[in-house]
A and B are shown apart, each in its own frame.
Chain A
Amino acid sequence: MGVDFSHDVVPLLSRFGCNGSACHGKAEGQKGFKLSIFGNDPDEDYRAITLQSRGRRISVGAPDASLFLQKVIAAIPHAGGPRMRKDSPEYRLLHEWIAGGALFKIADKADVTGVRIEPERKVLGFAQREPLRVIATYSDGSEKDVTWLSVFHSNNTGIAEVEESGTVVTGNSVGQAAVMARFHGQIGIFQATIPRPGAQVAGGGQKAFNAIDDLVEQNLRRMNLRASGIADDAEYLRRVCLDVIGRLPTSAEAREFLQDTREGKRARLVDRLLDLPEYADYWALKWADLLRVDRQALGQRGAFAYFSWVRDSVAANKPLDQFAKELLVAEGPLSEQPAGYFYKVVKKSGEMAASTSQVFLGIRITCSECHQHPYDRWTQRDYHGMRAFFEQVKYKKLGDDEALVAEGSPQIRHPRTKEILNAHPLGTAMPEKAAEGDRRQTLATWMVAPENPWFARNLANRFWAHFFGRGIVEPVDDVRASNPPSNPELLAALTRHLVDYQFDPKALIRFITASRTYQTSSHPNETNESDEQNFSRAVFRRLPAEVLMDSVSDVTGMPEKFAGVPAGFRAVQLWDSLQQHYFLKLFGRPARATACECERATGASIGQTLHLMNSPAIQAKLAHEGGTIARLAAGTTDDSALVDELYLSFFSRLPTGEEKSTAIQHLSTRKEKRRQAVEDLAWSMLNSLEFVFNH
């Protein structure tokens, strides 16, 4: 069988990066030669190579004289340098293609139907090399080694790199990496596990609290890590309050919990937290970020109505499938169907498809609007097939209200091939006929079905990430074959739980918080000090902007005043994305411009540190006559009780003996300036890592 362009040359152009975005694949091409990005459009590329430049690029009679071949070996100047050697098999393939008449496609040549990597998975040591083989299967049943024609990519280069030739090279970090090989739009995966070297640790000997723990433990054994011990009551209390209701426990709550000696108090605490209005406030904030309650786009009334739908849903513990479905099929007057405001924030049908895929399925399809997703299977057909579901969405004036209607039969065409695309969900076959009525019904039914491969799994993963600072798939909204879960069995168990309990979010929270894994201490042991990936200990997470703001207000007893809302409104309750607030902006409150969890900035900055240390606003809270610090300083002469109270409200724990004596000594040597001394103690607590982080 001869060589042709679409089967043989296109993969080579990808393999050598010719059609990459930094070279000829960029929108304007490079030096007058443009290729479609990642070989997305073989017809166009074929024309570019064989016809443009007055046909000088190809010389069938004298292949070696072809400009194309001269360039790839840099026999004439090529800004990209030599891409291959003249004596290489790649060069010979191109030569053979040209000599054979530079055909576009040989009609009966078998097509690639799949790609796999051998081995599929392997445990590797530090600084080890593992050559991979990529096997392509063809429509005629044959198989071929296409390693030399494949493009490789590691999803975690800190753990394992992959060389151009397909050899995996591990570093000196414990962890897992997935290596992808791409050939002809098909993807194969290799998974490397690099356990901690040294003698195999026995399990920590701690017993499992529920099914989560066995699955985590199984993975830790694979990684040769031992989980840290159990968090004490104070550590657990602070963590679970911050995670479930987004606020610190008060000193009274902390005292009560620490003194409680009855069985099952941790589970009872979670039950109590889930019933508090703060639970709804905090999780509504989370959903309002993702679903983009954006006053800029919706105006005051719309944003508030949309937000109220979100918060009411959380407060009612609406099953997550129902929640998603209400949004997906919202129709009618917006005053009655406020979920329909989503479509006023996300205005174009393509964005609607991309945002709902990202939020509810964890899948990013935006790349495939213009070309095949470089790291996944999604093509322009998939993207525009999803887009077709939302093409009918319009608004009609209705007095001073508006109504969302989804009607008509607008057609979508493939932007390149012009084929008519009927709406079809990701990974499903396209129906021959367009659906009648509101197409979104079909999408919603498919999406929230328990057997949907992504919906429940994505939600389970997002909830997990909320409690651990890291998803089992990470980032949570980048689910793809080349980004596999770090613990598939665990993710499957969480997904099953969610489905078994009819998508009840509180049930999932109970399941997660009841696990030993969630209740593990943040104190590392000798095996897991450098592990932030495998849930072997609690990882430090900086408090989100609103939670930190509220914490500062709570411990000082001085509520923050926000513009345009009643006094006593907490930062976590702010639904208005346009609320201007220096502290919240500085600590990374998102503007809700995207459906990405990543829009919330969680990193630190010098400005943040300076603000906590020096801000006159925070100093005013510490020093205010009506605040907690003044009250404590005046209220008791018992330094020991005062220090206990401060530790309970700032850190949700009692001080150690040493801490207490340090604090008492500080206070007792500054008796004449007692108020100021208490303020300074509070200042130092507020500026410590223990306060700023959830741990």
Chain B
Amino acid sequence: MNRHHPSFCDGVARRDFLRIGAAAALGVNFPMAGLLATEAAAARRGTLDASRNDTSLIFVFLRGGLSTIDTFDMKPDAPENIRGPFKPRGTNVPGIQICEHLPKIAGVMDKFSLIRSFTHSNAGHGPADHYMLTGYHPTASFNGGLIPNNQHPSIGSVIAHKLGPRGSIPPYMCLPTMHPSGSSAYLGPQSVPFVIEADPNSPAFEVPDLQPPLNVDASRLEDRRGLLAKVDRFQRSIEQRANSGASQLSVFSERATALMTSGDAKKAFDLHAEPEKLRAEYGRTTLGQSCLMARRLVESGVRCVTVEHQNWDTHFGSFATLKDDLLPKLDMAMSALFRDLSDRGMLKKTLVVVTGEFGRTPVINKEAGRDHWSRCFTVAMGGGGLQGGRVVGKSDQQASDPADNPYGPEDMCATIYQSLGINPHDEMRTPEGRPVMLTNSGRIIKELV
């Protein structure tokens, strides 16, 4: 609960806190040193569960809203205007049925679970996105048009803040772009994602600006760096120390250089190194190649990768779109991701979440589509030590409301954080000093642990 006087339960010493707060209060962002100290302090005080904090998250966000009644929670016995044209099929877990157009996913059903009683209270894209990506329902002053629009830090930013980088690669990345609610809010720029800003499915895929231009070879780059160190008179100067903006930029410069010279990063970004066969299994689509890229990134130390996929807002003629376009893409990408992670022995340490911001109306509309529906939908979660092959909760006969065990975004976040070794009940503070819980009274989805 929102205690007025927080005990510093993330283990940050008061001195650290004041230092961070002082910088933040100046309208500039936390000095990196302070941040690192925070992380180190948190680790020392043991609020991080050390046995778990090598677990990573891949969050696949199907933007627009996945129709779960047509995919993971079919209602074959409901009237025709609800059940739709698709038929259920069995999976490799006896008793669990999903859509006939997801045959490959049906083959990996044992590796993840379905929360069919998922529910929340907002059926507008912007606010629902924010709710699902941060665990916090936005307040009245929410402005979805802002980029970023975060009132609260995204899940990825919280993970970056709490766990910090592992090696020379940034802890939080977004593929192929950053969702407007994917940023860090009051956690500051150290916890913003590194955004790839390129489509992993394009034949010439490359992370922009990661390498010097072609006509600048290695020795020349060396020359330039040497020169920069001499020319930049404010580097390591009293001015740099005294100005939070300048010291922050210096930190980013170091990180940028580390990223450029990091073998890990170079290797991770080199999607072309993947065997053609595996690339084909993920599907030569933006979604498929982003999922493959996500696996590579996690392999090289990234702690949270958000994969965003568009076009799930199927108001019109949705069954053709689903059957011919969206479901085949999802089927390949999601099944390949689970199988690949499992084959490499990474699944136990990699949590995968697949969800839209909400589901879609049980009743089919006049345009042969379904509209927004947040009152009941399905979230898929697997790996990261969670139980696979389960169905958590159920929806009512028309999938319009949860029939039992309702879970919401708060609970999803709590479960994600716990899986990554972060105490979901930690308290953070905004630069204005407002105490904010990591999750808004989220409960662990106990059926999954």
Which chain A residues have a beta carbon within 8 Å of chain B's beta carbons? Answer: 15-17, 20-23, 26-28, 30, 79-81, 151, 153-159, 161, 163-164, 171-173, 175, 366-367, 369-370, 470, 474-475, 522-524, 528-530, 532-533, 537, 539-542, 591, 593-594, 599, 602-611, 613-616, 619, 623, 659, 662-663, 666, 676, 680-681, 683-685, 687-690, 692-693, 695
Contact = CB atoms under 8 A, between A and B. Distances in A.
Contacts of B25: 156-159, 175
Contacts of B231: 659, 662-663, 681, 684-685, 688
9 closest residue pairs by CB, A with B: A158-B22, A158-B21, A171-B18, A157-B433, A22-B2, A688-B232, A593-B145, A540-B243, A164-B5
Contacts of A683: 224, 227-228
A23 B2 contact: yes
B212 interface: yes
B238 interface: yes
Contacts, number: 224
A22 B440 CA distance: 7
B15 interface: yes
A35 to B, nearest CB: 13
A634 to B, nearest CB: 18
Contact of A603 (B1, B215, B238, B248): B248
A530 B18 CA distance: 13
11 contacts: A171-B18, A171-B19, A172-B18, A539-B243, A602-B245, A604-B248, A605-B192, A607-B194, A609-B252, A684-B228, A689-B235
B24 interface: yes
Contacts of A533: 26
Q: Which of B5, B231, B253 has the most CB of A within 10 A?
A: B231
A542 B249 contact: yes
B432 A607 contact: no
A593 B141 CA distance: 12
Contacts of B141: 366-367
B27 A474 contact: yes
Contacts of A613: 209, 212, 256, 260
A189 B110 CA distance: 60
Q: Which of A532, A619, A659 has the most CB of B within 10 A?
A: A532
A607 B5 contact: no
B252 A532 contact: no
A353 to B, nearest CB: 14
A681 B249 contact: no
A393 B143 CA distance: 23
A16 B2 CA distance: 9
Contacts of A23: 1-2
Interface in B206-259: 208-216, 220, 223-224, 227-228, 230-235, 238-246, 248-250, 252-253, 255-256, 259
Given A22-B437, A605-B189, A593 B140 contact: no
B441 interface: yes
Nearest to A156: B25
Given A684-B231, A687-B228, A173 B18 contact: yes
Nearest to B20: A158
B194 A604 contact: no
A689 B22 contact: no
Contact of B209 (A530, A542, A614, A681): A614
Contacts of B384: none
Contact of B213 (A474, A591, A619): A619
A151 B4 CA distance: 8
B29 interface: yes
Contact of B22 (A175, A666, A685): A175
Q: Which of A20, A156, A172 has the most CB of B within 10 A?
A: A156
A170 to B, nearest CB: 9
A601 to B, nearest CB: 9
A541 B139 CA distance: 31
A662 B229 CA distance: 11
Given A605-B252, A690-B233, A529 B23 contact: no
B202 interface: no
A591 B228 contact: no
B249 A692 contact: yes
B360 interface: no
A26 B121 CA distance: 13
A347 to B, nearest CB: 13
A270 B15 CA distance: 44
B151 to A, nearest CB: 11
Contacts of B220: 676, 680
Contacts of B137: 27
Nearest to A155: B432
A432 to B, nearest CB: 31
Given A15-B4, A172-B15, A689-B246, 19 more contacts: A158-B18, A158-B21, A158-B22, A159-B25, A523-B238, A524-B239, A532-B242, A591-B145, A603-B29, A606-B259, A607-B194, A608-B252, A610-B260, A616-B213, A663-B231, A680-B227, A689-B240, A689-B250, A693-B249
A335 B17 CA distance: 54
B146 interface: yes
A22 B4 CA distance: 11
Contacts of A593: 143, 145-146
B3 interface: yes
Contacts of B188: 603
Contact of B441 (A22, A474, A663): A22
B1 A594 contact: no
B339 interface: no
Nearest to A647: B231
A253 B243 CA distance: 28
A159 B28 CA distance: 15
A522 B249 contact: no
B19 to A, nearest CB: 8
A673 B25 CA distance: 49
A669 B337 CA distance: 54
Nearest to B207: A610
Contacts of A161: 18, 433
Nearest to B210: A610
B26 A470 contact: yes
Contacts of B227: 666, 680-681, 683-684
A662 B232 CA distance: 12
B200 to A, nearest CB: 17
B93 interface: no
B423 to A, nearest CB: 16
A529 B238 contact: yes
Contacts of A528: 242
A532 B28 contact: yes
B170 A606 contact: yes
Q: Which of B15, B241, B433 has the most CB of A within 10 A?
A: B433
A28 B19 CA distance: 36
Given A530-B242, A613-B212, A154 B433 contact: yes
Contacts of A623: 215
Nearest to B189: A603
Q: Which of B1, B2, B197, B215 has the most CB of A within 10 A?
A: B1
Nearest to B436: A22
Contact of A17 (B2, B140, B248): B2
A524 B188 CA distance: 26
Given A613-B212, A619-B213, A680 B224 contact: yes
Contacts of A688: 228, 231-235
A80 B425 CA distance: 12
A612 to B, nearest CB: 9
A619 B146 CA distance: 31
Contacts of B20: 158
B284 interface: no
A369 B140 contact: yes
Contacts of B244: 532
Contacts of A79: 1, 441
A603 B249 CA distance: 8
Given A606-B194, A623-B215, A676-B220, A541 B245 contact: yes
B125 interface: no
Interface in B326-357: none
Contacts of A159: 22, 25
